[in-house]
Chain A
Amino acid sequence: MHSAQPKEEVAAPGRRRFLGVLLGGGLFVSAVSFFYPVLRYLVPPRITDMGGDTVVAGKVGELRPNSGKIFRFGSRPGLLLLGADGQYRALSATCTHLSCTVQYRSDLREVWCACHNGMYDLSGRNLSGPPPRPLEQYDVHVRGDEIIVSRRREA
């Protein structure tokens, strides 16, 4: 039905090329339009931290001085500390090295990551071991008997 006609091919290479570019370009553009949604679909949506940037981390009197506890801050763990000085502090509990969850060591009065022996002080500064950065610090307010922890707003 459609035998190739070499004569025509030789006669109009420009037209053939033009049609080729048109077809190829069209196919390419539509292929992009199919794969773009697929690529976007593969990226999981950000899980919005329910409760926003503020949580109730615990009750007053729950912690003895020189101790700490893990609380849920959105989908991540936070560390609430009551220092020997009687002051509340709150930090991200995700180690900046390889994302283990840190804990308070009352014997050392420091924050310790058990995975690779990383050490932080009570304000989250990395003191020794592999951690490359300090832990994120949160603001702590006591309202009634609730201890409220909130993320610091970037000024």
Chain B
Amino acid sequence: MAPLVRVRNWLDERFGWDELLAPLRHKTVPIHRYSYWYFLGGITLFLFGVQVCTGILLLLYYRPSANEAFESVQYIMTQVQFGWLVRSVHSWAANLMIFTAFLHMFSVLFLRAYRKPRELTWVSGMLLLFLAMGFGFSGYLLPWNTLAFFATKVGTDIAGQVPFVGHRLMVFLRGGDEVTGATLSRFFGFHVAVLPGLITLLISIHLLLVQRFGISVPARMEPEWRALPQQKREMRFFPNFLLRELMAWYIALGVLGALAAFSPWGLGTKADPFAPAPAGIKPEWYFLFMFQTLKLIPAKLGMLDGEVVGILTFSLAGLIWLLVPFLDGTKRTQRLVTGAAMFVVAYMGAMTAYGYVAK
């Protein structure tokens, strides 16, 4: 251990190492019956790390062109040693990551952890969730299979319905008027360069804010904690909580490996832009509730197009969601927020299930 201590002393003399790490050492995690929810953010971060690693591995063989994309993924899955595993882990971890991010978001929402002073932590987290969905949407197209091709057509077409800027937005996303190889190049660029840059920045901000404000005690426990500080139960973040978090990561990795190995991600058939769309085109499950809603809205609502109304409603809901901490003031609005959140969970669950069974 002596050399390690020497390295540490060397760093400490120059950077004030111990001082830098002091906040980490003083950081504590409240212990109560909802403590388990604290693991979700970390698990999401871990899955993001898995995505970075497997994504880099896929980049070694993947070719982002309409002529070669499908074949290169096929090559990865059939020729490259363990390529099927790497690709399958990438697909599964993407879906699990979105899932845990949603759980994390809802846990923060229901425990009202976004309260002052953590409003911006919530905002950065919501932006991260939107970015994650952007990753999902852009990554879905990259294997260039039939399902992804048409889902991208539909998805970008929906973006095209936005009033005023819609058409331009659609052309920007597609790299032209149609979904072609140009779209693939663009989505590839978004997926491996633009979004990773943005998400790295936002994750840093998010973690810095979490570090700065410490971990929130659930709203309904806060009065007790204030009244009887001696009864507070806390755990040191380092190493106690971190080790538990590592255990959670290890379990997540086990689940991921099992899913990837026993239920490997399929590839489908190569996209043919001149073939008719097959039945049952569906986006990824996390877009399904919106997709299904848009299918149910009648074509015309009064003077407006049904689609436009749907899109505007979802955009507005997203904006309100982003600004939840600023709406949560009085007891009444708090109840309103919680009620609305419960409705949203029920609505998303029901619509997703409906989307799955609907033809």
- Which residues of A are in contact with B by a Cβ distance under 8 Å? 1-2, 30, 34, 37-38, 40-45
Contacts and interface: CB of A to CB of B under 8 A. Distances in A.
Given A37-B85, A37-B86, A42 B60 contact: yes
A41 B57 contact: yes
Contacts of B57: 38, 41-42
A37 B80 contact: no
Contacts of A45: 79-81
B208 to A, nearest CB: 27
Contacts of B83: 41
Interface in B77-103: 79-83, 85-86
B240 interface: yes
B31 interface: yes
Contact of B80 (A2, A30, A34, A41): A41
Contacts, number: 33
Given A41-B81, A44-B61, A45-B81, 9 more contacts: A1-B233, A1-B240, A2-B240, A37-B85, A41-B57, A41-B85, A41-B86, A42-B57, A43-B81
B233 A40 contact: no
Contacts of A40: 81-82
A1 B81 contact: no
Interface of B: 31, 57, 60-61, 79-83, 85-86, 233, 235, 240, 250, 253
A44 B82 CA distance: 11
Contacts of A41: 57, 60, 80-83, 85-86
18 contacts: A1-B31, A1-B240, A2-B235, A2-B240, A30-B250, A37-B82, A38-B57, A40-B81, A41-B57, A41-B82, A41-B83, A41-B85, A42-B57, A42-B60, A43-B81, A44-B61, A45-B79, A45-B80
A44 B76 CA distance: 10
A125 B65 CA distance: 44
Contacts of B80: 41, 44-45
A4 to B, nearest CB: 10
A42 B235 CA distance: 41
Nearest to B86: A41
A2 B86 CA distance: 38
Contacts of B233: 1
- What 3 pairs across the A-B complex have the smallest Cβ distances? A37-B82, A40-B81, A45-B79
A151 B257 CA distance: 44
Contacts of A44: 61, 80
Nearest to B244: A2
Contacts of A43: 81
Contacts of A38: 57, 82, 86
A30 B233 CA distance: 34
Nearest to A48: B79
Nearest to B53: A38
Contacts of B250: 30
Contacts of B85: 37, 41
Nearest to A40: B81
Nearest to A27: B250
Contacts of A30: 250
Contacts of B253: 34
A34 B233 CA distance: 37
A84 B213 CA distance: 87
Nearest to A36: B82
Nearest to A33: B257
A41 B31 CA distance: 43
Contacts of A2: 235, 240
Nearest to B57: A41
B247 to A, nearest CB: 11
A40 B84 CA distance: 12
A41 B56 CA distance: 12
A37 B235 CA distance: 37
A40 B235 CA distance: 41
Contacts of A1: 31, 233, 235, 240
B344 to A, nearest CB: 35
B237 to A, nearest CB: 13
A29 to B, nearest CB: 13
A139 to B, nearest CB: 30
Nearest to B243: A2
Contacts of B61: 44
A34 B240 CA distance: 25
A91 B196 CA distance: 50
Contacts of B235: 1-2
Contacts of B60: 41-42
B92 to A, nearest CB: 15
B112 to A, nearest CB: 24
